[in-house]
Structure 1
Amino acid sequence: MQAKNDMPGGATDLVRARDQLLEGGDTRHPRLDAHALRQALVDLHDLWLTAKGAELGITADSGLAVVAVGGLGRREMLPYSDLDLVLLHDNVDAARVAEVADSLWYPLWDAHIKLDHSVRTVPQALRVAADDLTAALGMLDARHIVGDVELSNLLIGGVRREWRTGIRSRFSDLVEQANQRWRRSGEIAHRAEPDLKNGRGGLRDIQLLDALAIAQLTDAMPGLGPDVPGGGLKQAHRRLLDVRTELHRVAGRARDQLRAQDADEIGSALRIGDRFDLARTLSDAARTVGYSVDVGLRTAGNALPRRGLARLRRIPVRRPLDEGVVEHAGEVVLARDARPQKDPGLILRVAAASAQHALPMSATTLNRLSEDAPELREPWPREALNDLLVLLGTGRTIVAAVEALDRTGLWGRLFPEWGAVRDLPPRDPVHTWTVDRHLVETVAYASALSTRVSRPDLLLLGALLHDIGKGRTEDHSIVGADLATHIGRRLGLWPQDVRTLSAIVRYHLLLPDTATRRDLADPETVDTVVRALEGDPQLLELLHALAEADSLATGPGVWGDWKASLIRELVRRSRLAMAGEALPQPDPIDPQLLVKAKAGGVHVELTPGDGRYTHVVTIVAPDTAGLLSEAAGVLALHSLRVLSASLGAEGDSAIDTFVVSPKFGDPPDVGLLRQELIRAINGELDLAAVLSKKELDAGLPPNPYAQAQPRVLWTETTVPGQVLLELRAEDRIGLLSRLAGALAGVRVNVLWAKVVTRGASVVDAFCLDLRGPDTPERRAGIEAALLAVVPQPLPPKPKDAEEE
C-alpha cells in the first residue's frame, strides 16, 4: 500500500494517511473497495502502533505489550472505528508505565482519534473479564500488536480459558444481553434504517457466534455453509461489513445506523444497485445471521456442561412426532430409521411437526435433508400436500419453520418461484415486512380465520401465494395468477381448485380496492364484483377472509373498523346478487356394502388408498347410538388420522367409510380393529379416557395451539325434521370420535355425515334428525356440546407479556 510506505511516525500523519486511503480515486491512489480498505486500515494502524511502540521501548523483553481489541483486534478496521487498545505491563515501575501510556495515548488524542484505552497487568485484565460480560466479549477478540508477545499470549490464552470454563454460569446473562440488544435495535431485515452493528442479524451477532465457538459450544458457522441461498454465514458477514464500511465513508464519521438518504450512494459504491437492492441484500444477510444465531444459541444451550445433580438427569428420550420424525433434546430430528433419499415428503413432515409442536428443527436434520432428500415428483403426492396444509394452518409457529427451511434452501426447492420475492423490500412504506415474510405473516393471520370459510385449504394457499407475482415489471396480480396455476397443478390440486386458487391471487385486491374507492350504493359496483368472480360465492367468501389477513399482515393501522365495515357491506351486497351454494349431499353406498349390511354383524375392511400413506377403512355394523364415536375412536386409538369420511346407513346397519393416514408406520391388522371396535360397542373400552391419555402422551394439551375460533353453521333442508349442521374447527386427536360422542350425549340422531380434514382444519357436515322439539334452546345445547370438545383459541397475552 502506497499510504503505508509514505506515512511518517506522528499520529497526525496516521490520520492523513487514513484520509488518503479514503479519498482514493486518482491514478496514483485508486479507490479501494470496502474489503481492501479495511485491510489497508488494519495494516496502517498496525504499522503506526508497531513503530510507536518501538520508539517508546515497548520491545519483546520490556515487560510491556500493546494489545488491540474491537475492530482492530478482529482485523475489521473501519474508516472511523474507535481504537480499542490495552497496554499490558508485568512488574514494571509505575512511573515508567505512566510515561509510556501518556506517550502512546496523547498523540492519538491530539490527532482527534477516538480511543478506548486501559492499562493493566494480566491478572487485572482477567479480573475485569471475569466481572464484566461486555469486557470479556471484547477481550475474546484481543490480538498482539507490539512488545512482549508472551505477555499478550498470557492475556489472550487466559481470557479464552476462563471463558470456556465459566460459560455455564454466564450463558443465561449472554442470552439476556443479546435479547435486550435486539429489543432496543430491532431486526435489520425489516427496519427502514437498520442498526448494522447492534440490530438482530448484525455484526454483534457474528461476534456472539464467535464467542460461542471459542467456548467450544458450537462452531462458528452453525447450520449454514456456502451452498445455501445468499452464500451462507461467511458471505453475510462480508456483506454487512462492506455496507458498514461504506456507511462510514459516506457519513465521514463513525455510524452504525444506515440512513435512508445514504442508501442509494452506498448501494452504488458497492455495485449492488439502488436503495431497494441494498435493502434486499441486507435482509438476506441479516436473516442468514439471525438464523445462525438461533441455531448457535440452541446448540450451545444443549451442549452446556452439566454439574451437580444435573449430571444425574436421564438422557433425553426420542419422542415420536410423525413417520420418520421425532423430538430429541427440544428439537425436531429424523428418526433413526428415516431414509431421506427414498422419502421426498419427509421435508414437509419435519416442518409440519416443527410448527405443530412449536419446536425448532435441528440444523443437522435440515442439512441432511438438504443433501439427501430428492425432489417431490409432480404432481405432489396427496400426503405431501396435506403436510403442507398442516404447516400452513399452525398459526404463528409457521414463521420460524418457513424461515429455517428458506435459509437452508429447502423452501426454495419446494417453491422455486419464491426466489423472486425472497428478501424483496416493499415499495410502499406502509408495509412492515419484506414480501416473502409478508406472505408468511398473511398465512399466519389467515389460519385464525380458517373457520370462516368452507375451504380453509384454499384460503391458506391463497394467502401464501397472493403476492408471489411481485418482483417483476408486470401487474403482480396477473403474473401471480399464472404462477398460482402452475403451482396448484404441481401441488396436485383438482382442476377446479387450481382455477379457484388462481382467481384468489388474481383478485386478492378486488374487495379492498372496490370497497374503499367506489360507491357501494351504486349497483354497478356490486355488478363489477359479481362479474369478476363469475358469481362464485365460495370465491367471494375466500377473498373476504384473505382481505382481512392481508391487511393485518401489512402493518399497524391498515385494518380497522372503517375498512372492515366497507368490505363486509360489499360482500353482503355481492352475496345477495349471487346464486346460493349447493347443500352437501350424502355419497352413494357401494352395492357390495349393502349386501354385508343385510347380513348383519360387524364387518371391518382395510384397503390401500390413493397415496403411499393413505388407506380406506370400511365399517359395517349395527346402527346403535354412539357407533360413529366408537368407530372413529378406535381409529384414533391406533394413530389413524381421518382425512375424510362418508357416513351413512341402510336399514338397521351403519355403513361408514374412512380415508385414513397412519401417524407412524403401517396400519394395524384389520382383525385387531374389528376386535377393539366390538369391545368399544360392548362398553369394554373406555375410549374417552384412552384418547385423553394418548393426547397427553403425545405432549399436546387438549387444545393444541388453536388459532381459529370454531364455528357451527345451521342450514335448513327440504325434508321436515332434518337439518344440516356444519362444524368448522381445528383438528385434534380423536376429534371425530369426540364430536360423535357429543351428539350422542345430547340425544341427536346423525342420519349421515361427510367429514373432511384439510391440513390442520376440519369441515364436518352432519345431517341431523331433529324431529321433536326443534327449538333455539335445543340447537344452542347441541352447539355447546360440540364446542366443548373442539380446540379453542388461546386467550391473548397481556400487552406487557408480549413486550417481554
Structure 2
Amino acid sequence: MSTTRIPDQRAIIDRRKLASEIEALVAQHGNKSRPPVVEALKRALESGRTEMEGRLAARPSAGHAVAGGYSFLIDQLVRVIHEYVTQHTYPNANRSAGERLAIMAVGGYGRSEMAPHSDVDIAFLVGERRNAWCEQVVEAMLYLLWDLGLKVGHSTRTLDEAIRLAKDDLTIRTALLEGRYVWGDRTLYEEGERRYTREVVEGNERAFLSQKLEERNARHKRLGDSRYVVEPNVKDGKGGLRDLQTLYWIGKFIHRVSSAAELVDAGLMTQVEYRSFRRAERFLLAVRCHMHIITGRAEDRLTFDLQRQVAERMNFADRPGKSKVERFMQFYFLQAKRVGSLTGVFLAHIEDDLAKNAARKGFFAGFRPKPRLVKGYRVFGGRIAAPSDDWFRKDPVRLVEIFQIAEAEELEIHPETMRQAARDAKLIDNEVREDERANALFLELLCGRNDPEMVLRWMNETGVFGRFVPDFGKVNAQMQFDMYHHYTVDEHTIRAIGLLSQIEKGELKDDHPRATRLIHKVSSRRVAYVAALLHDIAKGRGGDHSELGAEVALELCPRFGLTESETELVSWLVLNHLLMSHTAQKRDLTDPKTIEDYVSQVQSVERLRHLAILTAVDIRAVGPGTWNSWKGQLLGELYDASSERLRLGHMRHGRKEKVAAKKGHVADLLGEKAGLVEELGTTFGDAYWIAEPVDIIALNLVHYAAARDLEHVLSVHCEYYEARGATLVTVIASDHPGLFYRIAGGIHLAGGNIIDARIHTSRTGWALDNFLVQDPHGAPFREEQQLRRIEQSISDALANRIDLTPKLAQRPLPHSRSKAFDVSPRVLFDNKASNRFTVIEVNARDRPALLNRLARVLFESRLVVHSAHITNYGERAVDTFYVTDLTGGKLVEGERQNRLEARLVEAAGDALQARLEDA
C-alpha cells in the first residue's frame, strides 16, 4: 500500500556491491562458498537494520519511510539469494516451460509495510507441480533466509492451485490480492495477476466485503471490541493497522485500486480523508517499529511499560497535568478514532455502490422509493441524512439536532452526513454553544430513552461532541496511565451513560437491583445523566479532578438548562463521586462512626440515591470485571445503613436491640441447631454480633461448636460464599500474637487474595477469624482441591512447618505489568474515623503478600488488628486496618506513630521486595 519512495537506498543495502562480493566468494571458495556467503548476507542484513534504526531515531514518526526501508532491505536480499542459488547452487541454463519460478511478496511484506521483526511472507509461483529444479531452488532459498534468522511464511503453488485455493480460502484470497512481484519470472507473475482478477475477483465483490467485515468484527471482539482499551494492539486492535489494511483490501478488490491514493479517484475518500488515512497509518507504523526495536521481537501489544519507552523515543514531553506517556497515548487514541471514522464512511460508500449496481441490474431497475421527511431531514432505509451539502452551514444548531433526532427516532446517520458533520463541526462556536435550543436538544439526547450511548459515540466520532462541550473535548482520547481503568476518559464516560440508560430500562436488574429501583425514585433523572457525563470531565488538568469537575458543573449545568437546585446537586455529585465507593471498600461498615461520618457528608436521601446510582455506573464503566457481587454487597450495606439514618434521624436500633435482633435471625437460620445461639451467645461479645452478617454467624457457630467438641487446637474451614462472590475462610485457634499475619501468609501462599478480614477473640481466649478470599482474577475458589489447598497452607503456616518470608517473596505478582508504574507507598492515620479504633490506611503498589508483610509490622509494633479491608485499583492496593494497642486504646500521634509509619512504608516498598527476592 505504501507509495513512499525510499531515499538513499544504497545506504540501506547496495545489491550490486553485495552480489559482486558473493561472486568473489564463490570464485574463492567454489563448492564451499555457502558459509562465507551466509556471513556476507548476515552483515548486509545487520547493516541495513542498523541504518533503518538510525533513520527512525532521527525521524521518530517516519512510519512509511522506515517500514518501506525494511521491505526494500528484504527485497534486495531475496533477489541476491535467488541469483546465488540459480546461478551457483542449482544452475539451469535450459529451463523447460514447467521450470518457471516467480517470487511474490505477500502480507505486510507485500504492502511494503514491514516492522523490524515482521514475518517475511513469500509466495513462490511455479510453472508445474513436482518440478525438481523449482523445489530445489525454493528449498535452498528458504534455508538461506532461515540462516539469516528471518521468520519466513511461505507457500509454493502452481497458478492453477493458487487460483483454486484463493476461491475457497479468504486468507489466501487476501494474501494474493496484495501480492507484489519481487523477482524471477515476471511473465508468470503477470499471468497470475490477470487470472486472479478474471477468475477470483469479478462477480465476488459483495461476498468478499461481507467476509472481510465478518473477519474484522471477530478480530475486534477477540481484542476487547473498543479502540479505547488502554493497552491496545497496534496491529490487530480496533482502530489499528489491520483496519486501515481492510479498507485498502476492500477498495482494491472492488475498485481495482493499486494504492491507497487511488481510493480518492474512486470516490471512496476525499483528499482530506486520504491525508488523514496516511497520517494515521504513518504514526501507527512508526509506533510498531519502535515496539519491535525496544523488545527485539515482533511485539504488537502496546503494553504499559512499552508506552513509556515509545513516548520517550517519539519525543513526547511532559506538560502541566499530563505526563509524556499520557500525551503520547492521547495522540495514539485520536489516530485510532480517525481510523474508525474513515472506516464507517468508506464502508457505507462501498455498500451504497454495490446496492446501486444491484438495483440497476435487478427486477426493480430504475425504481427509487421516495424518502420520508422528518423535520426537514431525509429518512430512508433506517438512515437519516442532511438534505443538502450546505444544510449545517445554514444553521449550525442542526449539528446537534440531527443526533437528537437519530436517538429519538432510532435511526442511523447516513455516512455521507457523518462526513458532512465532521467537516462542519468547526462551525460550532460560542454562539451555538450558548444557544438555548441547541442546549435543550443536547440535554434531550443525553437523557434519551432509546440508545444515547451509541448516538453520543457517533457525535464524538464526528468531533461535534467535543466542539459543543469543549470540556469533554479536552478528555477526548485521554488515557489514564494505570491498570485500573480499561478505557480512555471519553469512552469510560460514554459507557457510564449507556449503563445508566440500561439500568433505567431495567436491563441490568440482576446485577444492579438497587440502582434499578432508585433511578425511578429520584426527583430529576436529568441530574443522573448530567452527573454521569461530568463526573470525570476535569481529568488530566492537574489537581483534584473531583474539585475541578464540580466547578465545571456549576458553569455547564445552567447552560444545559438545569435549574439552580439541579445544578447544585450535579456539582455536589461530581465533587463526591468517589465518596461512596471509598467508604464502602475502605472503611468498616459495622462501625457506627463510619455511617455517621458518611451521612454527615451526604445529608439528604436524594443525594444518597443519586450517589448510589452514579457509583454503580462509574465502577462498572471502568472495564470488564470491575463490578462484582462483593462490591455490590458493600455498597448495598452502606446505602441501607445510611438511608435508615437519614430517614429516621438516628439508627433505628441501639446496640442491644441490634444484637438481640441478630440472635433471633441467626436462630431462625440454624433451625434444629438454634440452641447454639443460647449456648454460645455470650462467648462472643457484642462487637462480634454487630460486625458479622447473620449467615456468616450461623456458619461460625456450627463450626466453633464442632471444633470445641472435638477439642481441636486449630480448625480451618473454607467454602464458596455466593453472596459476596468470594470464598469464606474461617480459622478457629487458640489466640496468640501474630496469628493474623501468619494466616494471611498461608492464604497468600495458596494463591489467594484477601479482600476482607474480621478478627474476633472469644471470652474464653479462642480466636475466630473470618477472611473473604478471591483468586488473582477476582473470582472465588470453588473446587474442593483449591479449598483443601488453602486449609493446608494455613495449617502449615500456623504450625511453623514453612518459613513464610522467603516462600512469599518467590510468589509472582499476578499483575507483573504493575512494574511499569510509579506507586510511592503512603501511610495515613485517622483517629476520627472510629470511636474505638485507630484507622491506618496504607496505599502501595500491589505485590505478593503485601497484607502479610503489613500485618507482621503491626504485630511487631505491639498493635492488635480488629478488622482489615483490602481494595485494589489495578496496580495499586489500599489496605485499611482498624487497630488498638495492647490495652485497647487508640494509637496517639507522636514518635511511636512516626516509627510505625516508617516501618509500614518500608514493608510496602520496592527495596524490601528486592532484598527478599535476593534472599
With the length of structure 2 as denominator, give the TM-score of the two structures: 0.56
Q: In structure 1, which of residues 545, 551, 555 is the aligned counterpart of residue 613 of structure 2?
A: 545
Aligned to 1:255: 299
Q: How does 1:137-216 map to 2 (within 5 A)?
A: 137-160=174-197, 162-187=200-225, 189-216=227-254
Q: Which amino acid aligns with 1:253?
A: R
Cα gap change, 1:256 to 1:188, in 2 (>3 Å): farther
2:342 corresponds to 1:292: yes
**Could you report, residue by residue, the CA deviation over 1:723-757 in whole angstroms, capped at 9, with x for unpaired residues?**
xxxxxxxxxxxxxxxxxxxxxxxxxxxxxxxxxxx
2:246 corresponds to 1:246: no
How far off its partner does 1:542 sit? 2.7
Q: Secondary structure at the match of 1:237?
A: helix
Q: Secondary structure at the match of 2:412?
A: coil
Aligned to 1:411: 465
Aligned to 1:467: 536
Q: How does 1:1-400 map to 2 (within 5 A)?
A: 1-5=10-14, 7=18, 9=22, 10=37, 12-23=39-50, 33=60, 35=63, 36-55=65-84, 56=86, 64-90=101-127, 94-160=131-197, 162-187=200-225, 189-216=227-254, 232-272=276-316, 275-304=325-354, 305-306=357-358, 311-312=363-364, 315=368, 317-320=370-373, 322-335=374-387, 339-372=391-424, 374-375=427-428, 377=431, 380-394=434-448, 397-400=451-454
Q: Secondary structure at the match of 1:438?
A: helix
Aligned to 2:740: none
Q: In structure 1, which of residues 512, 516, 536 is the aligned counterpart of residue 581 of structure 2?
A: 512
Cα gap change, 1:143 to 1:459, in 2 (>3 Å): same
Aligned to 2:555: 486
**Residues of 2 paired with 1:353 and 1:241: CA distance?**
39
Cα gap change, 1:179 to 1:454, in 2 (>3 Å): same
**Residues of 1 paired with 2:202 and 2:341: CA distance?**
24
How far off its partner does 1:82 sit? 1.6
Q: Secondary structure at the match of 2:523?
A: coil
**Residues of 1 paired with 2:358 and 2:416: CA distance?**
23
**Could you report, residue by residue, the CA deviation over 1:471-513 in whole angstroms, capped at 9, with x for unpaired residues?**
1210001111122222224334444443333223222223333
**Residues of 2 paired with 1:438 and 1:120: CA distance?**
49
How far off its partner does 1:379 sit? 6.0
**Residues of 2 paired with 1:343 and 1:139: CA distance?**
49
2:513 corresponds to 1:445: no
Contact 1:196-1:258 within 8 A present in 2 as well? yes
**Residues of 2 paired with 1:292 and 1:518: CA distance?**
48
Q: Which amino acid aligns with 1:477?
A: S
**Could you report, residue by residue, the CA deviation over 1:94-122 in whole angstroms, capped at 9, with x for unpaired residues?**
34433432343232133332222233333
More helix by proportion, 1 or 2? 2
Contact 1:212-1:296 within 8 A present in 2 as well? no
Gaps of 5+ in 2: 1-9, 23-36, 318-323, 505-518, 651-919
How far off its partner does 1:212 sit? 1.5
Q: Secondary structure at the match of 2:115?
A: coil
Aligned to 2:819: none
Q: How does 1:617-628 map to 2 (within 5 A)?
A: none
Cα gap change, 1:319 to 1:378, in 2 (>3 Å): closer
**Residues of 2 paired with 1:192 and 1:12: CA distance?**
43
**Residues of 2 paired with 1:197 and 1:239: CA distance?**
12
Cα gap change, 1:366 to 1:88, in 2 (>3 Å): same
**Could you report, residue by residue, the CA deviation over 1:342-397 in whole angstroms, capped at 9, with x for unpaired residues?**
32221222212333444432221022233346326266444323322332234783
**Residues of 2 paired with 1:268 and 1:164: CA distance?**
48
Q: How does 1:571-582 map to 2 (within 5 A)?
A: 571-577=643-649
**Could you report, residue by residue, the CA deviation over 1:623-652 in whole angstroms, capped at 9, with x for unpaired residues?**
xxxxxxxxxxxxxxxxxxxxxxxxxxxxxx
**Residues of 2 paired with 1:360 and 1:422: CA distance?**
23
Q: Which moved further from structure 2: 185-194 or 82-91?
A: 185-194
2:484 corresponds to 1:430: yes
Cα gap change, 1:233 to 1:488, in 2 (>3 Å): farther
How far off its partner does 1:532 sit? 4.7
Corresponding residue pairs, total: 575
Cα gap change, 1:511 to 1:149, in 2 (>3 Å): same
Identity of aligned residues (%): 27
Cα gap change, 1:71 to 1:13, in 2 (>3 Å): farther
Q: Which moved further from structure 2: 237-246 or 218-227?
A: 218-227
**Residues of 1 paired with 2:53 and 2:586: CA distance?**
56
Q: Which amino acid aligns with 1:420?
A: K
**Residues of 2 paired with 1:350 and 1:192: CA distance?**
31
Q: How does 1:780-791 map to 2 (within 5 A)?
A: none
**Residues of 1 paired with 2:248 and 2:55: CA distance?**
38
**Could you report, residue by residue, the CA deviation over 1:693-748 in whole angstroms, capped at 9, with x for unpaired residues?**
xxxxxxxxxxxxxxxxxxxxxxxxxxxxxxxxxxxxxxxxxxxxxxxxxxxxxxxx
Cα gap change, 1:565 to 1:541, in 2 (>3 Å): same
Q: Secondary structure at the match of 1:258?
A: coil
Cα gap change, 1:286 to 1:311, in 2 (>3 Å): farther
**Could you report, residue by residue, the CA deviation over 1:300-339 in whole angstroms, capped at 9, with x for unpaired residues?**
334334289964386454244x423343234321235983
Cα gap change, 1:539 to 1:27, in 2 (>3 Å): closer
